[in-house]
Chain A
Amino acid sequence: MRILATYNIKGGVGKTAAAVNLAYLAARRGERTLLWDLDPQAAATYYFRVEPKVVGGGQRLLKGGKKGSALDDVIKGTDFPGLDLVPADFSFRNLDLMLEEAKGSTKQLRKLLRPLEDDYDVVFLDCPPSISLVSESAFRASDALLVPVIPTTLSARTLEQLLDFLASQERLATLKVLPFFSMVDRRKRLHLESMAELPIRWPQFLRTSIPYASDVERMGVHRMPLPAYAPLSPAAVAYQSLWGEVRASLPK
């Protein structure tokens, strides 16, 4: 089981779009896939038409019922074979506080996922923006961070912040960071310039970038992953190639 988190300190950069589309593509390739919506805004949950409701809320998840079965009880099958979802819950807005109370707080997510080791090949964690105990737990649980970056100067600064933070955390030394350009508008000079510069500074940038496209925005109308309704759209093809690249850069 490999665990990937989509993360950026900044909001609205395409984290959820990436998590939803990549999870869909992974499942379509035959990998048993789980997407965990950690954001109380429940965008990923919405895209899959699932009710944003977890029986007992985050509290019960963390306390756990019977041993290891806490997540088992809340997983929902999506409309797509091989792709399951842990829906978000409004109570997740307090997940931080709840994690703080739980002992070994940042180990909690990993612990919850461990019993599912044999059930899934890939797990995506769709994180809310900003650095919090939730995101730290997600970092500790993950093998890699997928970081959508809008190619602007400001984004470069948040990426730097993130990398500095991670470097300061000894426990996260093995975490792989995979930034990629998101919402790229090739008509903007700033975008083109940033896309030329940033990968020189951070060679770990993936080569695929996701174009800015209204097809992606329409996910909220269709309420399904982009490749499910527009498989040949340029953005869908880009997600496909992104997934290929991510897979290839993960340890086997």
Chain B
Amino acid sequence: MEYLIPDGLSAEALEGELRAHLSCRAESAGDSEIGYYDTFDWALYAAGGFLSQSSETLRWTSRKDASAYAQPLEAQPGLARDLPSGPVRDQLPPEAAIRRLLPMMRIQTTARLLRVLDENEKTVVRVLVSSHSFEDPTSGRSGDLAARLRVQGVRGYDDDRELLVALVESKLGLVKAETPLLCEALRRVGRVPGDYSSKLDLKLEGAQRADAVTKQILATLLETLEANIQGTIAGWDTEFLHDLRVATRRTRSALSQIKPVFPEEILARFKEEFAWVQQATGQVRDLDVYLLAFDDYQASLPAELRPKLEPLREFLLAHYDQEQARLAQALQSERFRVLLGAWRDFLQTPVPSTSIVPGAMQPIKAVADVRIRRMAKRVRREGRAIRDDSHPEELHELRKSCKKLRYLMEFFRSLYPGGAIKPLIKQLKVLLDQLGDYQDLAVQAHHLEDVAERMHAEGRAAPATLLAMGALVGGLLQRQQAARDGFSEVFAAFDDPQQWAQYKALFWTSEVHQTGT
């Protein structure tokens, strides 16, 4: 049981109070400094625990029952998957594997232990009085936290513990500490665990003006984009760039799909600039994709070919720093700074009281209905047109439409009953994954062919390596073909009459009002 010691009461005065009523012996319980770690998106907190490190020990503490695991770790933690195996690592959720464990807070503690004694001078209750200060590595801010008193009972001495609890609660009037130290420290710097997520979670109001709501959506995306800049430039882990690119792609999709709500001439420049961001960040992302998949690549080959693939990894890594430097340069450039500044200005400017843009003043729900309807019909039309001998370009087009539809549904999710739209998005993701596999595997295969040629030209690939890469490309193309073969079945699930009835029920409700515009 832990209590907060009110501001006016010093630890010494408190000790005096306890001594007045009980026979106690006090001793120093030592100083400690604990660093708390989590992934940028708080995956560990979400998985139900705190990860901390102090004096070369890494600890996992469950949020629910405070059960704890420990393992030695001398250095600062890096990527979650690079932690040495051990009981703490076993607790980490799999989705954290590729993320860096970032320092979220440091807390210094000085503690005194009061042992309450009986007439034999036997310890019957332990009372830990601790004072704390914090240091936020992100903002650089620091300060003191409320001191705490913790009652630790001794087995078989429940009466003594209850007596002490009564003294602490009734006589001293201390209140229970409800929040963990970490959360209290975070609150002091205006944060809460879980305050960043890459998932879009917008709460929109359907009756509001379309242009205002669209700005709200875009502003949320801008926040996500900006939150990931530092980690991307520093290369903390691959997901910063990934999230930054997703935010960019969603922004571009919103700009082209939620219309007509802004004057086209204003948008044109932003569209162009965000396309540049997308393009300037592409190279590193490609390398990330290969490197993340590299172990799987190797595993897909027969055992004797696996080591032959190593020069490919080295080649990719050798280009990485250069591409990463280029990326960092782009994100630190004047062009990028100006873009974000102008974009923020635009989003923060209140919408005009009247607008000549036809959709601007409509309720957002009406605009959303129309856009989703159109896109859903387009996906269905394009999908139905695909035959066994269709050109790959057609599947590519279909994928683009699917993505637009998915983004639209995700932007406007809160305007529709959650239970109804969720399965539609989920189903669409299945279709998108299929199309994504089909296209990405082909792109990867052909890119690897290019890389093989370059490696060969630079004299960095022995014939055995080239053969292994050939086998890899073959495997990728085989999987690509499998994705192609599976397409019609996956599409049929989307184009199912019942599924379509769901679309109709959700998005065709405002049709009547729409015919006039």
Contact = CB atoms under 8 A, between A and B. Distances in A.
A49 B155 contact: no
Contacts of B122: 48-50, 79
Chain A, interface SS category: loop
Contacts of B155: 75-77, 84
Interface in B97-118: 115, 118
A175 interface: no
- Chain B interface size band reads 10 to 19
Contacts of A75: 155-156
Interface string B148-160: 0000001111000
A237 interface: no
A84 B122 CA distance: 13
B85 interface: no
A84 B123 CA distance: 13
B179 interface: no
- Chain A interface size band reads 10 to 19
Interface string B119-154: 011110000000000000000000000000000001
B156 A76 contact: yes
B120 A49 contact: yes
B156 A49 contact: no
Contacts of A76: 154-157
Interface centre among A50, A76, A77, A223 (most CB of B within 10 A): A77
Contacts of B121: 49, 223
Interface in A77-124: 77, 79, 84
A51 B118 CA distance: 10
A187 to B, nearest CB: 36
Interface centre among A75, A79, A223 (most CB of B within 10 A): A79
A212 B156 CA distance: 34
A74 interface: yes
Contacts of B156: 74-77, 84
Contacts of B157: 76-77
Interface in A165-221: none
A48 B155 CA distance: 14
Contact of B120 (A51, A74, A77, A84): A51
A223 B155 CA distance: 19
Interface of A: 48-51, 74-77, 79, 84, 223
Interface of B: 115, 118, 120-123, 154-157
22 contacts: A48-B122, A49-B118, A49-B120, A49-B121, A50-B120, A50-B122, A51-B120, A74-B156, A75-B155, A75-B156, A76-B154, A76-B155, A76-B156, A76-B157, A77-B154, A77-B155, A77-B157, A79-B115, A79-B122, A84-B155, A84-B156, A223-B121
